Structure 1
Amino acid sequence: MTDLYQHEGSCSSSTSISSDRSETDNDRMIAVALSQEYANLDGAVGRRLSSLSSIPHVPRINSFIPNINEASHDHQRLTQRLNVYGLFEVKVSGDGNCQFRALSDQLYGSPEHHKYVRKEVVKQLKEFQTVYEGYVPMKFKQYRKKMTKSGEWGDHVTLQAAADKFGAKICLLTSFRDTCFIEIVPHNQPPQRELWLSFWSEVHYNSLYELQDLKIHYKLKKKHWLF
């Protein structure tokens, strides 16, 4: 939507910049405060799924969106896998930001820092363009600009950029018939932590935890709101 008045647009831009800076500062403060406690959860899901074999990850943009019937069957398959491995999903909003919300929940214990996560991923794409541009079948500047917009779906390229930026191995429990488990590992550095997401039918991500960690997760999430 365009602004009705130029003056209002200017004020809105100034307010937005101030708000963005405040959000960024808050996210960094929260990350420092929670990192030590949240580190205790790292690897819990990995131990539960240690018997699974992963497939190599190939970064790619979104291309295929399943129809309703396919998506419904995929959801049933994912639910069965979650039950088998004793996992629960922290469900995030399906507003186009779900990948970044799920990553935010894994990193900071809350999906509400998705804007910060998206900004950091876009910075990574810009700074290391030569690493990612070969996976994008369009002008990379156009792709990067598109990814700055709230509501723009994340893809397997942004997952790789997130793994690289945050030094994390990102593990996906998927709904795919022939691909249960995908690992995205950071380039040029060993992973410092694991982030676990569920991935449903190419259209939605959620954050994953073991059932036994349910109380710990929500205790940390409640503590976040004290800041």
Structure 2
Amino acid sequence: MRNGTQSAGESSSSTSLSSQQDTDDDKMIAVALSEEYAKLDGAVARRLSNLAPIPHIPRINSYIPNLSFASLDHQRLLQRLNVYGLFEVKVSGDGNCQFRALSDQLYKSPEYHKHVRKDIVKQLKDNRSLYESYVPMKYKKYYKKMSKSGEWGDHVTLQAAADKFMAKICLLTSFRDTCFIEIIPQYQAPKRELWLSFWSEVHYNSLYEIRDAPVQQKPRRKHWLF
């Protein structure tokens, strides 16, 4: 019985080490992909060079449109994508869409969204003074809530992402009066651009010029489509 207990413990330890190694390998691959694909930035920006962005104001999610307004917004976004010759890589609508879309822009795969969320939450936690004034609740409660898979990202997490990844994050939106929003790192020059479509307060997707659009894998979960 004693030998059996030792064997079970060794097996559990081995499984844990293997899982950690897989996670470390994923992160190494993600970093390599990020460095490689950073060279491709700029194509979408050229498409939208005539648009004047509005300043970004970090805020938490406080309003979700009803179905009627959401439908109109979605049609407006589709029209803008068509006008500017842009293509959405659609990611799952599982509550992680902002992080999936950012992951696709950084690593050309939405599947690194857990790493992206973890990095953003660490940025929030380690730099409280940069973001606390935008959060109308206990700050610790906010970033702990945001650490949970399925918790919707907001405009505060977008600012934290811009700061963490030293990236200008650009949103083509479905807002009636605001087509284009830029989120700029607060204390450093951006080293790259990340482009997202924003079906306003409902869903994010990853954005490309049509000729640069990657071949899409079938999403694991249902994504937001009409």
Residue 39 of structure 1: CA displacement? 2.1
Q: What is the aligned length?
A: 206
The equivalent residue for 1:49 is 48
The equivalent residue for 1:150 is 149
Residues 18 and 82 (structure 1), Cα distance of their counterparts in 2 relative to 1, 3 Å cut: same
The residue correspondences of 1:65-144 to structure 2 (distance < 5 A) are 65-144=64-143
Residues 73 and 28 (structure 1), Cα distance of their counterparts in 2 relative to 1, 3 Å cut: same
Highest CA radius of gyration, 1 or 2? 2
Residue 134 of structure 1: CA displacement? 0.3
Identity of aligned residues (%): 77
Residue 187 of structure 1: CA displacement? 1.2
The residue correspondences of 1:8-87 to structure 2 (distance < 5 A) are 19=19, 21-22=20-21, 24-87=23-86
Aligned-residue RMSD, C-alpha: 2.2
Residues 16 and 180 (structure 1), Cα distance of their counterparts in 2 relative to 1, 3 Å cut: farther
Structure-2 separation of matches of 1:148 and 1:35: 22
The residue correspondences of 1:208-223 to structure 2 (distance < 5 A) are 208-214=207-213, 217-218=214-215
Residues 124 and 212 (structure 1), Cα distance of their counterparts in 2 relative to 1, 3 Å cut: same
Q: Could you give the per-residue CA deviations for residues 14-41 of structure 1, whole angstroms, max 9, x where no partner exists?
A: 978974x445423331233323431232
Deviating beyond 3 angstroms after TM superposition, the runs of 4 or more aligned structure 1 residues are 14-19, 21-24
Structure 1 counterpart SS, 2:40: coil
> TM-score, normalised on structure 2?
0.86
The unaligned stretches of length 5 or more in structure 2 are 1-11, 218-226
Residue 218 of structure 1: CA displacement? 3.3
Q: Could you give the per-residue CA deviations for residues 55-79 of structure 1, whole angstroms, max 9, x where no partner exists?
A: 0000000001000000000000000
The equivalent residue for 2:174 is 175
Structure-2 separation of matches of 1:43 and 1:17: 40
Decide whether the 8 Å contact of 2:168 with 2:183 is kept in 1: yes
Residues 30 and 133 (structure 1), Cα distance of their counterparts in 2 relative to 1, 3 Å cut: same
Decide whether the 8 Å contact of 2:31 with 2:107 is kept in 1: no
> TM-score, normalised on structure 1?
0.85
Structure-2 separation of matches of 1:22 and 1:143: 30
Residue 168 of structure 1: CA displacement? 0.3
Residues 75 and 123 (structure 1), Cα distance of their counterparts in 2 relative to 1, 3 Å cut: same
Structure-2 separation of matches of 1:39 and 1:136: 31
The unaligned stretches of length 5 or more in structure 1 are 1-11, 222-227
The equivalent residue for 2:187 is 188
Residues 187 and 27 (structure 1), Cα distance of their counterparts in 2 relative to 1, 3 Å cut: farther
Q: Which letter does structure 2 place at the counterpart of 1:192?
A: K
Residues 52 and 119 (structure 1), Cα distance of their counterparts in 2 relative to 1, 3 Å cut: same
The equivalent residue for 1:8 is none
Residues 36 and 147 (structure 1), Cα distance of their counterparts in 2 relative to 1, 3 Å cut: closer
Residues 159 and 139 (structure 1), Cα distance of their counterparts in 2 relative to 1, 3 Å cut: same
